[in-house]
Amino acid sequence: MINKNSTIYIAGHNGMVGSAIWRVLSAKGYINLIGASSKELDLRKQKAVRDYIRKTKPDVIIDAAAKVGGILANNNFPYEFLMENMQIQNNLINEAHRLGIDKFIFLGSSCIYPKLAPQPLKEEYLLTAPLEPTNEWYALAKITGVKLCEAIRNEYEKDFVSLMPTNLYGTGDNFDLHSSHVLPAMIRKFHEAKENNNSVVTLWGSGRPMREFLFVDDMAEAVVFALENELPEHLYNIGTGEDLTIRDLANLVQKIVGHTGAVIWDDTKPDGTPRKLMDVSKMHNIGWKHQVKLEDGIQKTYNWFLQNIENFKQKAF
């Protein structure tokens, strides 16, 4: 049984999701949390992962490590997104299994579902139609992780579970405009435009696609729920069950940041998937639900951005 003294290895503990999981577990009294930076441990290397797990002997592994990015990064680096993510998760899953670890929590993404799947997205829609081309490389890697965990669960009766979050944002987010996701990119663009005499902000696409957003601390709470309970199935969606258009999101971010200039939508740029709303009824039915409202979460994220703005690398965009 997992308890507050259990040794819990959080792979990717310095990232936005991993650090949120660490923060929430610490607040709940878990005292044996372990992690290694990418400089200390290259998760792409099988022997290094094996040696680390053998040395630290965790009771649980939470895989929050991944190579991530937005549409631009996925389009520009398809090989890296597919290969490196498979290397990371395959090493962690395989070594956990080989070394007798019975509880493993694998984190993925809603992009594993088909581009034109019925809405809201149900877990059973996985592998029923083609993926969204702009992020299929990352999605394919995550799908293999889901299926590996399912296979181990079925064949060896281990508590390996996959949690698929919707779009995450929050404390510790990535605000680099070359690789960030839509919400933090908007925060940075609107802030810099506000500081530049409320100059015009140009955003990609038509603004019509609909997206769902989950504050990262809510995601961490879902991980803790999976940690403290043996979930009856292998795959669960994690989200709010609510979405809005990208245009409405931009209006909300603009209001919170305080930008009063014009907004231009560049519809020559790709929109991506038309809609990605998660069906979160399975998690609701077993006892987990998000707590942070979108507007409150964006305000918290913007506050963190302002507190840490000097730490961001200043680049010409």
User: Which residues make up each annotated binding site for substrate?
Assistant: 189, 204, 211, 271
Which structure tokens are listed for 242?
A: 């609510």
**Could you tell me which residues are annotated as the binding site for NADP(+)?**
12-18, 107-110, 142, 165-168, 181
Beta pairing partners, 236: 163
Give how far Cα 264 sits from Cα of 33, 177, 200, 247, Å. 46, 17, 7, 11
User: Whole-angstrom Cα distance, residue 247 to residue 243?
Assistant: 12
Taking residue 84's Cβ as centre, other Cβ atoms within 10 Å add up to 17
Sheet holding 275-276, edge to edge: 244-245, 210-211, 275-276
Specify whether 138 is catalytic: yes
Cβ(164)–Cβ(124) below 8 Å: no
- The contacts of residue 132 (CB under 8 Å, 6+ apart) are 111, 115, 139, 272, 273
What is the identity of the amino acid at 190?
A: F
Of the residues 113, 138, 236, 302, only one is catalytic, namely 138
Do residues 299 and 169 make contact, with C-beta atoms less than 8 angstroms apart? no
d(CA 291, CA 40): 35
| Contact indicator for 280, 239 with CB cutoff of 8 Å | yes
Say if residues 143 and 112 touch (Cβ distance below 8 Å): yes
Q: Binding site membership: which residues?
A: 12-18, 107-110, 142, 165-168, 181, 189, 204, 211, 271
**Residues facing residue 33 across a β-bridge:** 8
Angle at 32 between CA 26 and CA 37, to 5 degrees: 85
Residues designated catalytic:
138
